Chain A
Amino acid sequence: MEYFVQQLINGLTLGSIYGLIAIGYTMVYGIIGMINFAHGDIFMIGSFIALATFLVLTTVLGFAFLPVVLLIVLIVSMLFTSAWGWTVERLAYRPLRGSFRLAPLITAIGMSIVLQNFVQVTQGARVKPLPPQIQGGITLMEGNTENGAIVVQLSYMQIIIIVTTLVLMTLFTLLISRTSLGRAQRACEQDRKMASLLGVNVDRTISLTFVMGAALASVAGLMFLLLYGVIDFYIGFLAGVKAFTAAVLGGIGSLPGAMLGGLLIGLIEVFWSGYFSVEYKDVAAFSILAIVLIFLPSGLLGKPEVEKV
């Protein structure tokens, strides 16, 4: 029981990170119908920017009060990663808008390769370890098993991750449902040509979608850095595929779906590792993806597609 609760907490934490990345996939897919393959690498870029900012603040400038440092890191990495998201869209996707549909997928894969190797070349291929910054937590329950005592702990780190995710989710849902930007986005989702005829600046709306996705991915990057303490140039691929799985599982195009899918994928992965085998945890995630797509192509919260004849 204690083990179960601990795994549940861990799964929700991991799932929050996946959910934040998944939102970027789902928004982009919703608005221009393409898989932004480079999004996982934007997440990786975000984590590198967060790491560098953190180090500059603490070792070079000598800030010591952690909450302020983290807040600055959060804001700075959101800003800088957004610039990356914007640039990728501008260079690799916008010239191909309205072109044949495999083309942006190929440029997306190309961009993913470019980003990975750019970071590898400029920052080195070795992993970057960061010692745990936030320690301690709340002990929820204690119990005994045959292997000794087991303590269920909700660490402060986990609290921060889950709370930040919830706050950002709420903000973004409000942004999409209440503001004119959100309206423009939904209009572009429905019919881009019509939206532009009605005065919606389609290019700007799509750019902003990428910017928002990148900002959320950078938050996920920071969380990942703090939670695991190790990043390298390759973390984006796997996290990206899993986040995409989450977006599909929740129903692509749906924001709450992406979050729900993220949580589910996080839980599945953690429970699979906890109860079956760590080695095959990725197989579990990918199998879920395949099964969902085959039996429930529109995902949990997505709208079913009707075949038009």
Chain B
Amino acid sequence: MSAAAIRKPVEGAPAKWDEDPVLTVEHLTMRFGGLVAINDLSFNVGRGQITALIGPNGAGKTTVFNCVTGFYKPTEGRIVMRHGPGRQQQAIDTLTQGGLKWQATGEGAVFLLERMPDFEISHQAKVARTFQNIRLFGGMTVLENLLVAQHNVLMRASGFTLGGIVGIPSFRKAEKEAIDKAVYWLEQVHLIERADDPAGDLPYGAQRRLEIARAMCTEPQLLCLDEPAAGLNPRESAELNELLQFIRANHETSILLIEHDMGVVMEISDHIVVLDYGVKISDGDADFVRNDPSVIAAYLGVEDEEIEAAPEVASLVVEAIGEGAAKQVGIKAAAVPAAAAVAETAATADSEAASHPGKRPSGLAAAREGGPDRLTRIKGVGPVNEKKLNGLGIWHFDQVASWKKAEVEWVGSYLAFPGRIEREEWVKQAKALAKSGKGKTGGAK
């Protein structure tokens, strides 16, 4: 499978997720007041695949989920859900122009999720979700939780309650089927023994599994999992992997998941989308994303402060993006030459210089007397990027402070931080730091 990515042109055939996407997010933007949580995000989720949405904390992953599942109304953009194969582009276009929310087509149906309220997205478009902080019905039994998930089916069978009150036989049959389905999923998540216990009594890992089972009881075409492995121990994590692979293999449900546990992500994902500060910085399969320098930079740039020495950097990189995959690809953890790779990038900076938009800031050959400023004091600059900046001849706060728009754009592109420098107000911070005259002590190591 070749990589389709933002930084490299597509080689060969288009990826499966672009050919037959179940969900297409196009130019999604979400603003909260002045804060831009997601900025012009586009990606596809392939039918029958497991797609992972990763990125550092605060990257906007859960916001994407909330937009897809209708809990937030996006500021801009289109979110298309497809039942049935193919892109069904024509139907989508007519739907977009007309005022409708969804439409049946020859192949299935298409839905414009940004126009639909949350409960319709689950009910009609068949998108189910779980929550980062588990939301079970704690005072109801495990079985009841799964029956609530089949509300709409049962509601119709009960003749919208009227038939149910008098106890029509078709409702009894439907209820029996609902219990059978609940039992099926309870067996899959190994909770059948606890069917009559209140959900709030279950241990944490079991609650996570129950939430997935509950979502599956709505028979979704797309299952959105928000950090399903958070708080699980390694054994539970492995079980989760199995469960997700089971769903992919045996049910017509595509999966979109947010996850920090790279072991889970790298092992089971067909497709990974990386977000940072609301912007997509990488998009491709596991191998591609793992080796994408902008991903490495994004992870390191955020985890600043603590990273001082190179070995730690390397191990962090391994922890962040390589662990699970390292085994697969046969690279030993210690051998991942992340820090070295970064240094290499810095070295090639000069040759690359021309390829970035904007204007390269003028640098000094060496730090002025008294040593260089500690650039990591600027929020958002990690040690790795400090080195890169030093490589450009940027040593002092006043240098950063003097950047104009063109320089900011160039540096942003060079550091693979599109737009981020502005958002974090590096220039403003640098001005303040330069003024206070602090930060001289120590300098960059």
Which residue of A is nearest B132, CB measured? A309
The smallest beta-carbon distance between B118 and chain A, in angstroms, is 9
- Chain A residues within 8 Å of B72, by CB: 309
B137 within 8 A of A: no
Which residue of A is nearest B72, CB measured? A309
The smallest beta-carbon distance between B407 and chain A, in angstroms, is 36
For the complex, give the distance between the alpha carbons of A309 and B66 in Å: 8
Task: List A189-210 residues whose CB lies under 8 Å from chain B.
Answer: none
- Chain A residues within 8 Å of B62, by CB: 309
- Chain B residues within 8 Å of A309, by CB: 62, 66, 71-72, 131
For the complex, give the distance between the alpha carbons of A307 and B66 in Å: 11
Per-residue CB proximity of A284-309 to B under 8 Å, as 1/0? 00000000000000000000001101
For the complex, give the distance between the alpha carbons of A306 and B37 in Å: 15
Which residue of A is nearest B129, CB measured? A309
- Chain B residues within 8 Å of A307, by CB: 71
For the complex, give the distance between the alpha carbons of A307 and B62 in Å: 13
The secondary structure that dominates the A interface is: loop
For the complex, give the distance between the alpha carbons of A309 and B258 in Å: 15
The smallest beta-carbon distance between B6 and chain A, in angstroms, is 28
The smallest beta-carbon distance between B98 and chain A, in angstroms, is 30
Task: List B59-86 residues whose CB lies under 8 Å from chain A.
Answer: 62, 66, 71-72
Which residue of A is nearest B62, CB measured? A309
Per-residue CB proximity of B108-135 to A under 8 Å, as 1/0? 0000000000000000000000010000
Task: List A251-309 residues whose CB lies under 8 Å from chain B.
Answer: 306-307, 309
- Chain A residues within 8 Å of B71, by CB: 307, 309
- Chain A residues within 8 Å of B32, by CB: 306
Per-residue CB proximity of B131-168 to A under 8 Å, as 1/0? 10000000000000000000000000000000000000
For the complex, give the distance between the alpha carbons of A278 and B71 in Å: 45
Task: List B1-41 residues whose CB lies under 8 Å from chain A.
Answer: 32
The smallest beta-carbon distance between A307 and chain B, in angstroms, is 8
- Chain B residues within 8 Å of A306, by CB: 32
For the complex, give the distance between the alpha carbons of A282 and B71 in Å: 38
The smallest beta-carbon distance between B169 and chain A, in angstroms, is 40
The smallest beta-carbon distance between A95 and chain B, in angstroms, is 24
Which residue of B is nearest A306, CB measured? B32
The smallest beta-carbon distance between B258 and chain A, in angstroms, is 13
For the complex, give the distance between the alpha carbons of A189 and B62 in Å: 28
For the complex, give the distance between the alpha carbons of A309 and B70 in Å: 11
For the complex, give the distance between the alpha carbons of A307 and B32 in Å: 12
The smallest beta-carbon distance between A246 and chain B, in angstroms, is 28
- Chain A residues within 8 Å of B131, by CB: 309
For the complex, give the distance between the alpha carbons of A307 and B131 in Å: 14
The smallest beta-carbon distance between A267 and chain B, in angstroms, is 32
For the complex, give the distance between the alpha carbons of A307 and B70 in Å: 13
Which residue of B is nearest A308, CB measured? B133
Which residue of B is nearest A309, CB measured? B71
For the complex, give the distance between the alpha carbons of A307 and B73 in Å: 12
For the complex, give the distance between the alpha carbons of A300 and B66 in Å: 28
Which residue of B is nearest A304, CB measured? B33
For the complex, give the distance between the alpha carbons of A306 and B62 in Å: 15
Which residue of A is nearest B131, CB measured? A309
- Chain A residues within 8 Å of B66, by CB: 309
For the complex, give the distance between the alpha carbons of A309 and B131 in Å: 8
Task: List A81-122 residues whose CB lies under 8 Å from chain B.
Answer: none
The smallest beta-carbon distance between B371 and chain A, in angstroms, is 39
For the complex, give the distance between the alpha carbons of A143 and B34 in Å: 53
Per-residue CB proximity of B269-294 to A under 8 Å, as 1/0? 00000000000000000000000000
The smallest beta-carbon distance between A308 and chain B, in angstroms, is 9
The smallest beta-carbon distance between A288 and chain B, in angstroms, is 28
The smallest beta-carbon distance between B259 and chain A, in angstroms, is 18
Which residue of A is nearest B226, CB measured? A309
The smallest beta-carbon distance between A187 and chain B, in angstroms, is 24
For the complex, give the distance between the alpha carbons of A309 and B73 in Å: 13
For the complex, give the distance between the alpha carbons of A306 and B66 in Å: 13
The smallest beta-carbon distance between A101 and chain B, in angstroms, is 15
Per-residue CB proximity of A145-184 to B under 8 Å, as 1/0? 0000000000000000000000000000000000000000
The smallest beta-carbon distance between B117 and chain A, in angstroms, is 14
Task: List A33-63 residues whose CB lies under 8 Å from chain B.
Answer: none
Which residue of A is nearest B65, CB measured? A309
The smallest beta-carbon distance between B434 and chain A, in angstroms, is 34
For the complex, give the distance between the alpha carbons of A309 and B71 in Å: 8
For the complex, give the distance between the alpha carbons of A112 and B428 in Å: 56
The smallest beta-carbon distance between A306 and chain B, in angstroms, is 8
The smallest beta-carbon distance between B226 and chain A, in angstroms, is 9
The smallest beta-carbon distance between A153 and chain B, in angstroms, is 48
For the complex, give the distance between the alpha carbons of A184 and B89 in Å: 60
For the complex, give the distance between the alpha carbons of A272 and B71 in Å: 40
The smallest beta-carbon distance between B199 and chain A, in angstroms, is 18
For the complex, give the distance between the alpha carbons of A24 and B33 in Å: 32
The smallest beta-carbon distance between A303 and chain B, in angstroms, is 12
For the complex, give the distance between the alpha carbons of A307 and B72 in Å: 9
For the complex, give the distance between the alpha carbons of A239 and B32 in Å: 39
Per-residue CB proximity of A236-258 to B under 8 Å, as 1/0? 00000000000000000000000
For the complex, give the distance between the alpha carbons of A74 and B69 in Å: 58
The smallest beta-carbon distance between B225 and chain A, in angstroms, is 14
For the complex, give the distance between the alpha carbons of A26 and B204 in Å: 38
Which residue of A is nearest B32, CB measured? A306
For the complex, give the distance between the alpha carbons of A307 and B301 in Å: 30
For the complex, give the distance between the alpha carbons of A309 and B72 in Å: 9
Which residue of A is nearest B135, CB measured? A309
For the complex, give the distance between the alpha carbons of A197 and B71 in Å: 35
For the complex, give the distance between the alpha carbons of A306 and B35 in Å: 14
The smallest beta-carbon distance between B75 and chain A, in angstroms, is 15
For the complex, give the distance between the alpha carbons of A307 and B135 in Å: 14
Q: Please, could you name 7 A-B residue pairs with CB atoms under 8 Å apart, sorted by A?
A: A306-B32, A307-B71, A309-B62, A309-B66, A309-B71, A309-B72, A309-B131
Write the residues of chain A forming the contact surface with B, with a CB cutoff of 8 angstroms. Answer: 306-307, 309
The 7 closest A-B CB pairs, nearest first, are A309-B71, A309-B66, A309-B131, A309-B62, A307-B71, A306-B32, A309-B72
